[in-house]
Amino acid sequence: MTEALRADGALGADQRVDALETVSLGQAAGLLGELYRLSPTYSADATGPASLVVKLPSTDPQQRGVADALGFYKREITFYNEHADGLPFAIPRSYGAIQAGDSTDFVLLMEDVGHLDQIDQVAGASLDQARAAIANVARLHAGWWQHPDLELMAETFIPLSAPIYRAALPGIFDSGWAVCREKEAAELTPEVIEFADNYGSTLPFLLDELATPATLVHGDFRGDNLLFDRDGALTILDFQITGIAAGMYDIAYFACQSIATDVRRGNDDELVRLYVDTLAAEGVDLPLELATRKYRLATAFCLIYAVTSYQAYDAFDGRQHQLMSSMLRRTVQSMIDNDSLSLID
């Protein structure tokens, strides 16, 4: 810790960390990583941060396998080291973002933003929170909209159209679907079951549809990763799934899984229009009809996020089970409300 804080400039060359209290953040860590809050005791003349958060790889072999197969850890480390400046929202300050050269192991040492008001994804975002979140991420999308540098970034921030998704996602989905279908039978309709049973054969169509117009997307744009200060300014966490895709992917993912159904229902059109209008204000033209189609298709595609974690169901409990169940239930209802499956042959 002394070495990391000295390298960042938070400690002087003759200052040090004498002791370190470590507390696991447990279920707050989500499903793909582990988080710990660190409280340093410094040498007498040092004034480093009172607390920090460290992020490490998941110890669950199934979740780690998914993260490694799709390069999730490298994406976040690269984002913090190369793309953290000039964003339209705040992110936690990085005190060190490092990945091993001989494996995918990593350490991300960050500012502790636990004092901010986090959206509780299990409870669901309010409409005002949803509007603020969508407007902020739309500005990120606008800055990268069909940007010439996207091609250079594609090796790390894998485009949704990449062959690896066509190869890997059907198996990832199926491994969770068997457990999901057993655990959540009461939440599933015959139409959704038929769609999920054939998810792999539908996937190429969905990936093609959601690959354009290309921009840089957050990829895991959900309530637990969004925090607000007292003035309503947004801080965004977790860039492990950041990639290149249609921007509506982020919007649909947030709306169908982070807003309670009774809050979202009847407001989908408003949220899509807000996204289109925010892009327009940034000089990007996205026809409303096309945006609506992408939104409906992305809602169906995002069933994979609700389903995948069920492969490790027995490794989780408590809030993580509640999170998985709420994501599934809301996605199913959003697919029905938006008649998403009628767009799929």
Domain boundary among 65, 84, 111: 111
> Do 204 and 86 fall within a single domain?
no
> Do 146 and 264 fall within a single domain?
yes
> Do 132 and 81 fall within a single domain?
no
Domain boundary among 111, 126, 150: 111
> Do 100 and 140 fall within a single domain?
no
**How far separated are the first and last CA of the chain, in Å rounded?**
55
pTM of the full predicted structure? 0.92
Question: For the chain, how many structural domains are there in total?
Answer: 2
Q: Which domain holds residue 168?
A: 117-343
Could you give the 3-state DSSP secondary structure of residue 259?
coil
> Do 124 and 232 fall within a single domain?
yes
> Do 133 and 244 fall within a single domain?
yes
> Do 260 and 335 fall within a single domain?
yes
Note whether 37 and 56 are within 8 A (CB).
Answer: no
Q: What is the CATH number of the domain that holds 80?
A: 3.30.200.20
Counting every residue written for the chain, the total comes to 345
What's CA 214's distance to the chain center, in Å? 17
Note whether 223 and 121 are within 8 A (CB).
Answer: yes
At 31 the pLDDT is 66
> Do 153 and 250 fall within a single domain?
yes
R_g of the chain computed on alpha carbons: 20
Q: What is the CATH number of the domain that holds 334?
A: 3.90.1200
> Do 202 and 273 fall within a single domain?
yes
> Do 199 and 229 fall within a single domain?
yes
Dihedral of the CA atoms 198, 201, 203, 204 (nearest 10)? Answer: -170
Amino acid (1-letter code) at residue 234:
L
Task: Give the whole-angstrom CA distance, residue 209 versus residue 207.
Answer: 5
Write out the chain's pLDDT in tens, 345 residues.
999 999 999 999 999 999 999 999 875 555 688 999 999 999 988 989 999 999 999 988 888 888 898 899 999 999 999 999 999 999 999 999 999 999 999 999 999 999 999 998 899 999 999 999 999 999 999 999 999 999 999 999 999 999 999 999 999 899 899 999 988 888 899 999 999 999 999 999 999 999 999 999 999 999 989 999 999 999 999 999 999 999 999 999 999 999 999 999 999 999 999 999 999 999 999 999 999 999 999 999 999 988 988 887 777 777 778 888 889 999 999 999 999 999 997
> Do 134 and 37 fall within a single domain?
no
Q: Which residues pair with 20 in a beta bridge?
A: 40
Other C-beta atoms lying within 10 Å of the C-beta of residue 88: 16
Helices (H) and strands (E) in the chain, counts: 14, 10
What's CA 3's distance to the chain center, in Å? 30
Domain boundary among 111, 138, 161: 111
> Do 135 and 276 fall within a single domain?
yes
At 234 the pLDDT is 96
Task: Give the whole-angstrom CA distance, residue 108 versus residue 92.
Answer: 11
- Give the pair of three-digit tokens for residue 321: 């089970």
